Chains A and B, each alone.
Chain A
Amino acid sequence: MKKNVIITVAEQYLNCLGDIADKLRADGLHIKRLYDFGVVVGEIEEKKIDRILTHKEIDSCSEEKKIQLPPPDADEQ
């Protein structure tokens, strides 16, 4: 089952984002966004998520959180 993940690249490796993106693709990540400030948004098989955290250039990798507001007619928003 595929999951959306948000990845943060360690700041000292921001100058080699292209190489890191290649490594992530090799891990099976489908990259949707690659921001130059070191955030990567992508989709990957759930069982492959752990591979991403094995790279020294990666600070964090977590499943994308959802946000949900209360319904429009709720008094508390």
Chain B
Amino acid sequence: MKKPQLDQGRGNADISKDSTSSGADKNRPRYTGRHFVILKEPQQDYSKMEWFLKNKLGFRTACSRDFLSETFTEEKIKDADAYFYEELGIALISGSLSQINILETETAEFILEPERMVNIPDDIPSTMVIPDTWGIEATKVNDSPYTGKGIKVAVLDTGFAVNHPDFEGREVIAESFVEGENADDFHGHGTHCIGTACGAADMEGLRYGIAKESIIYTGKVLNNQGSGAESWVIDGITWAANNGCKVISMSLGSAVLPGEGYSLAYERTAKNALSKGAVLVAAAGNDSSRSRNVFRPVGSPANCPSIVAVGAVDAELNIADFSNRAINPDQLIDIVAPGVDIYSSFSGSMRYRTISGTSMAAPHVAGILALLWEKYPSQSPNGIIEEMQRLAHNLKLGQKDIGSGLVNAPLE
């Protein structure tokens, strides 16, 4: 049987018509150039077809009955123009275009079909090549050799789902400042924030956490309904600082009015923690609605001078619609971090959720601060904050919205 001549025959014209094919498929021949001649009625005697091919078209033929006791291969019929599958009432032919035209016009008893190429499907991208979350990518965390190893990171929130499978084997110290509730997280917010700041990867290998070798201090200062009081937060900050935490992350706060000052009690508490070696981070708040031209001031406690206030950006590195602005005097946005569509761990059977808010931005900064502490263990808290701001990527947006810019992980 003559070898297929790819892309010949009438099937050729169909290649560009296949709108369902991928780009790669479109460059791949769909037909061999050979044709099947099929009897319209399977019970018909194929000898008439054989006669026609031999005598009218001058084909050299071979037949399946010749291979009853041996395996059929293309090599064995390489000189034939037509091969008959006797039991099927089908012949495979490799005629010229003019011979095919004769067959089409003169044989009402046969159906002519081009032989199709059979391909191995395109490779599907391997699940072993798993990307990180966009927040991990945007902040260059995966380019950093630091993991926050041994750094104590406190997250003051709704507690933590300590039995989450992604945190198996991690050192976790838990304390509740909520009367009548233990440190377990029945809200989910705290587990999400700890996932970003201190987690590693999910069960599929997708990395969503930053300081993956840090020591987790979870201080429950918001109850299972997500409510809390200023004094519980003060208790939590003091507990974390007294326990040697180098980072204290707070994705919480109260709205602040234009013209309102910061809380002296929070500031005094933060200064005390700073003096004990901790850097404090808080979410700037989600009270704005920029698309409706509504801008709100940085919330409390993020508006304190001794606390790093974190705004949120989206995956296009635009300021998030809800992210608050530096409106009141000296109550600044210090830095921004990913805070829109952030995937992280969650409590309960869900295990993971993708949510938005400056609450999601603050733990990105907290995790990166842990990496900085690992790199510069002898630095002062203010020295670490300065380095964080120096590394930030300037997004060419207004300083009252982004402060120093997008937080970046330290490299070598």
Contact = CB atoms under 8 A, between A and B. Distances in A.
Interface string B175-209: 00000000000011100100000000000000000
B269 A65 contact: no
A37 B234 CA distance: 11
Given A6-B265, A37-B271, A39-B268, A69 B222 contact: yes
A41 B234 contact: yes
B265 A33 contact: no
Interface of A: 4, 6-8, 32-33, 35, 37-39, 41, 59-60, 62, 64-72, 74-77
3 residue pairs, one from A and one from B, having the closest CB atoms: A69-B226, A37-B272, A77-B357
B251 A60 contact: no
Interface in B209-242: 222, 226-231, 233-235, 238
21 contacts: A6-B230, A6-B231, A6-B263, A8-B268, A33-B235, A37-B271, A37-B272, A39-B234, A39-B268, A60-B263, A65-B230, A65-B300, A66-B228, A68-B227, A70-B226, A75-B355, A75-B356, A76-B286, A76-B355, A77-B355, A77-B356
B252 A35 contact: no
A41 B235 CA distance: 10
A32 B230 CA distance: 13
Nearest to A66: B229
B158 interface: yes
* Most interface-central of A38, A39, A66, A77 (chain B CB within 10 A): A77
Contact of B227 (A32, A59, A69, A75): A69
Contacts of B253: 67
Nearest to B320: A76
Contacts of A32: 231
A55 to B, nearest CB: 15
B254 interface: yes
Given A35-B234, A59-B264, A62-B263, A67 B254 contact: yes
Contacts of B254: 65-67
A67 B266 CA distance: 14
Given A66-B229, A70-B226, 8 more contacts: A6-B230, A39-B268, A64-B229, A65-B230, A67-B252, A75-B355, A76-B286, A76-B355
B231 A33 contact: yes
A66 B231 contact: no
Nearest to A36: B272
Contacts of A33: 231, 234-235
A67 B228 contact: yes
B322 interface: yes
A76 B227 contact: no
A72 B271 contact: no
Given A35-B238, A67-B252, A72 B263 contact: no
Contacts of B252: 67, 69
B228 A8 contact: no
A49 B271 CA distance: 26
A63 B264 CA distance: 12
B188 A72 contact: yes
A64 B266 CA distance: 11
B360 interface: yes
Nearest to A70: B226
A65 to B, nearest CB: 5
B359 interface: yes
Contact of B356 (A41, A59, A72, A76): A76
Nearest to B360: A77
B265 A71 contact: no
Q: Which of A7, A8, A32, A33 has the most CB of B within 10 A?
A: A8
A68 B226 CA distance: 6
Contact of A67 (B227, B238, B264, B265): B227
A65 B222 CA distance: 13
Interface in B247-267: 251-254, 263-265
B265 A8 contact: yes
A60 B264 contact: yes
- Among the interface residues A32, A72, A74, which one has the most CB atoms of the partner chain B within 10 A? A72
A37 B230 CA distance: 16
Contact of B222 (A6, A59, A67): A67
User: Which of A4, A6, A35 has the most chain B CB atoms inside 10 A of its CB?
Assistant: A6
Contacts of A41: 231, 234
Interface string B100-124: 0000000000000000000000000
